[in-house]
Amino acid sequence: MRHQRVRKAIVQTLRENPEGLTASQIIDKLGTKKSKRIVNAKHVAVLVRGLKGVKKTMSCRMKARDSLHDYTVNVYFYDEEEGAEI
């Protein structure tokens, strides 16, 4: 499996934040050494897709810069009951 270290870092970040994080918040919390390979939020979504124990909800509403549009984004969280296998 590719990007194993980055996936482990994402799981660790989600464990530290049980309330959940959006993809852009995950990139911010990873740090520069781990996130230099992650280009954008879509890349985080692709990496998270294969992880067991990581769930997503579409509960967070974000506003665009011009504040005319708002949209929903995925919030990822770690489910302690299932656990993650990488």
Tens of pLDDT, residue by residue over 39-85, are: 788 888 888 887 888 888 876 666 666 666 667 788 998 987 765 45
CA pair distance 31, 46, nearest whole angstrom: 19
pLDDT for residue 15: 92
CATH domain 4-78 topology: Arc Repressor Mutant, subunit A (1.10.10)
> Domain spans of the chain?
4-78
Which has the closest alpha carbon to 75: 26, 20, 30, 31? 20
Which has the closest alpha carbon to 35: 46, 43, 22? 43
Supply 1's token pair.
């499996």
pLDDT for residue 74: 85
